[in-house]
A and B are shown apart, each in its own frame.
Chain A
Amino acid sequence: MDWLSKNSGSTDLDLFRRMLRIRSVEETIADRYSEQEMRCPVHLSIGQEAAAVGACAPLMAEDIIVSNHRSHSHYLAKGGDLEAMLGEIYGRVTGCCGGRGGSMHLFDTRAGVLASVPIVASTIPLAVGAALTFQQRRQGYISVAFMGDAATEEGVFHESLNFASLHALPVIFFVENNLYSVYTPLHDRQPDRSLTDYALAHAIPSEQVDGNDVEAVFQSMTRCAQRARAGKGPVLLVVDTYRWREHCGPDYDNNLGYRSENEYEKWRRRCPIETYRAQLADRGLLTPKLETRMTTEIQLEIESAFETARSAPFPDSGTVGLKVYA
């Protein structure tokens, strides 16, 4: 039984609520970043919420994900603890890493967020190792490796697909193609080729869906997860999406000239949350009253979580040299 059917009466509204929650958390981070209390780099996933939510909603609590530098949405979508995430960004002892990792190292073992690491593609083999473990233990769980388009240029991406395919491991390679590696566009980094072609090279199936359409991602991921869970091996899933804010930090960076205002506006009109809000309203599922209640609940949770994080103590400096060895 997947997370949603256990936790909610309505998959649709839950997908919407989860996207709205992630958007609100990250907008609050952006708003408060200038207070200079969150003193670590932040890579916001605003605009990419449908990918994370659609990918994680079909997963079981025991399934694991690994993430990269842009990990807030993945962490929250998989059920990672919000207060521990904010505590980490604020560098507090209550953070998920006790203040040792910052925004780029989010993990939550209880929620199945195994690791997040800001070196591109570095966590992909970790997901394959988790899948190998699930296979060795005959546990029936799956792992998901989140990555951006640039990760497909790394050698270890191909090493991981090859190995996973060879052993029919239960792992989903989930590529969020947001068209840019920092400021360098995909077409300056790769020939004119679909990212799903990589799957052909490694003899695994692939799917490509609109990454701003949460239901499309959810349905595709549900198929991929069922296949992997049934022992039929890995899948490469590519979703097309777009980062709204700057590569790193709370602001916008279109002024740098690496992408056009037209392109940005085109993607912004395809906001995953606005689009889905309209769809749910058309279906008569989301009324203004319901949305107001949902927004209020989310805001209260977020305000409380920020307050808890900000009021938590810093780690004792005397502990800095501890836990180098187990």
Chain B
Amino acid sequence: MPEPRERSGAQGIQEALDLSLERDPSVFLIGEGVADPKGIFGTTTGLCQKYGTQRVVETPIAENGFTGIAIGAALLGQRPIVIHQRVEFALLAMEQIVNNAAKTHYVSDGAHSMPLVIRLVVGRGWGQGPLHSQSLETLFAYIPGLKVLMPATAEDCKGMLLSAIEDNNPVIFLEHRWVHFVKGNIPAGYHTTSIDGPSHLWQGDSVTVISSSYMTLESLRAAKALSKEGCDVDLFDLRVVRPLKLDEIFESVNRTGRLLVVDTGWRTLGPGAEIVAQVTESCFDNLKQPPQRLGLPDHPTPSSRSLAAAFYTYAEDIALTVGDLAGISPLATRRAADELSVERQTHPIDVPHPSFQGPF
């Protein structure tokens, strides 16, 4: 493997796009702003200059239209990468995604494949409010035929995107805006990471914790603070919401007897609901406590930072829930949570936490 260098998630995505455009002439980017001076938060910077307007296709403001155009190109064997700068814009393209992209392979009895990647950005912070912040993985993951990925680390931003572009299925690639800022040691050159299932980030026997996207980074902070108190969680980064592969989680829960799922989006009907259901079906006899879920409460995202602060889940919430599930001393749990809380208060609540540096 080439020498790793410190890069951000956004830089990792830009590298993955650059490498894919370079190695495969059937790859092209299409979306609103792909060729503009800001280049989708720096993830497409320089690519239009390097590959030209036929391979980095700037679009009219017509989300359903250009998503369908990409699907048509994929039917002929092109490998389009569609970009919507916020998940909410992709809602205008749900007809094409759900009816055409997701079903073409099945309905054509395997004759057509759909080598399509749709990058969607989940916003957070700086008062972005209800329509620039939704983590709608459930909407996409409900649909058989789609693959739904949620990278949490800079290495996965690059490696999972490369794998997604190689894949012959429609892949929804959900990029949390704050994961764009996460730093990590990314190998130079073409280096994929798997899109088969979760990754194991922290080893322990107290509680199985599974989380996704940015919440994996909060979970990791909680895991470190709890470890100092002698409580080691078994932490997994979900990475792939569909197809859901939970074998490792079942093994872990059979060992720990305790499960916490931390969702990035709403708690109700989030991936956590499905994970808890499957774990309960598979590991019922080994569960020592009712499985727990953390996630967003049932209301839209407010803009004001004083309101938003009460909306999101933080590392200290995770630490408190784990401590309770594990049955460790309330004093130790409180110490871990307080440490996380005090540290957090040294930073603004509405920007990414600066501690999120890899490798993980």
**Residues on A facing B (Cβ under 8 Å):** 64, 66, 97-101, 105, 107, 109, 114-115, 117, 119, 122-130, 132-133, 135-136, 155-156, 159-160, 162-163, 166, 322-326
Contact = CB atoms under 8 A, between A and B. Distances in A.
A107 B100 contact: no
A124 B68 contact: yes
A66 B104 CA distance: 13
A107 B100 CA distance: 13
A109 B144 CA distance: 24
Contacts of A159: 60, 62, 64-66
B72 A156 contact: no
Contact of B68 (A98, A107, A128): A128
A162 B64 CA distance: 13
A156 B80 CA distance: 19
Contact of A128 (B72, B77, B112, B145): B72
A122 B68 contact: yes
B62 A126 contact: no
Given A125-B96, A162-B62, A326 B168 contact: yes
Given A128-B65, A156-B95, A163-B66, 18 more contacts: A99-B109, A100-B109, A107-B111, A115-B112, A125-B68, A126-B71, A126-B72, A128-B72, A130-B75, A133-B72, A136-B73, A156-B65, A156-B68, A159-B60, A159-B64, A162-B62, A324-B105, A325-B147
B190 interface: no
3 closest A-B pairs by CB: A129-B72, A125-B68, A159-B65
A122 B69 CA distance: 11
Interface in B46-72: 54-55, 57, 59-60, 62, 64-72
A323 B110 contact: yes
B28 interface: yes
B74 interface: yes
Contact of B105 (A123, A132, A326): A326
A129 B109 contact: no
Contact of A129 (B62, B75, B106, B107): B75
Contacts of B169: 325-326
B68 A160 contact: yes
Interface in B1-53: 28
Nearest to B30: A132
B76 interface: yes
A142 to B, nearest CB: 13
A116 B62 CA distance: 22
A129 B68 contact: yes
A146 B262 CA distance: 47
Contacts, number: 133
Contacts of B55: 136
Contact of B107 (A100, A128, A163): A100
18 contacts: A97-B107, A97-B109, A100-B107, A107-B108, A119-B99, A125-B65, A128-B65, A129-B72, A132-B72, A136-B28, A136-B54, A156-B62, A156-B64, A156-B95, A322-B110, A324-B105, A324-B106, A326-B105
Contacts of B110: 322-323, 326
Nearest to A315: B109
A212 to B, nearest CB: 30
B103 to A, nearest CB: 9
Contacts of A324: 105-106, 144-145
Contacts of A136: 28, 54-55, 73, 78
A163 B109 contact: no
B270 to A, nearest CB: 22
B111 A129 contact: no
Nearest to B58: A166
A155 B341 CA distance: 49
Given A133-B78, A326-B169, A117 B100 contact: yes
Contacts of A128: 65, 68-69, 72
Contacts of B90: none
A127 B72 contact: yes
A152 to B, nearest CB: 14
Contacts of B69: 125-126, 128-129, 132, 160, 163
B94 to A, nearest CB: 12
Contacts of A127: 72
Nearest to B80: A129
Nearest to A88: B109
Contacts of A123: 100
B243 interface: yes
A163 B70 CA distance: 12
B74 to A, nearest CB: 7
A7 to B, nearest CB: 24
A163 B114 contact: no
Contacts of A124: 68
A154 B104 CA distance: 22
Nearest to A102: B107
Contact of B60 (A100, A163, A323): A163
A119 B95 contact: yes
A109 B112 CA distance: 9
B208 interface: no
Given A97-B108, A97-B109, A125-B64, A133 B145 contact: no
A132 B95 CA distance: 20
A114 B104 CA distance: 11
Interface string B155-178: 000000000000011000000000
Nearest to A98: B109
Greatest chain A CB density within 10 A among B76, B80, B100, B106 is at B76
A323 B110 CA distance: 6
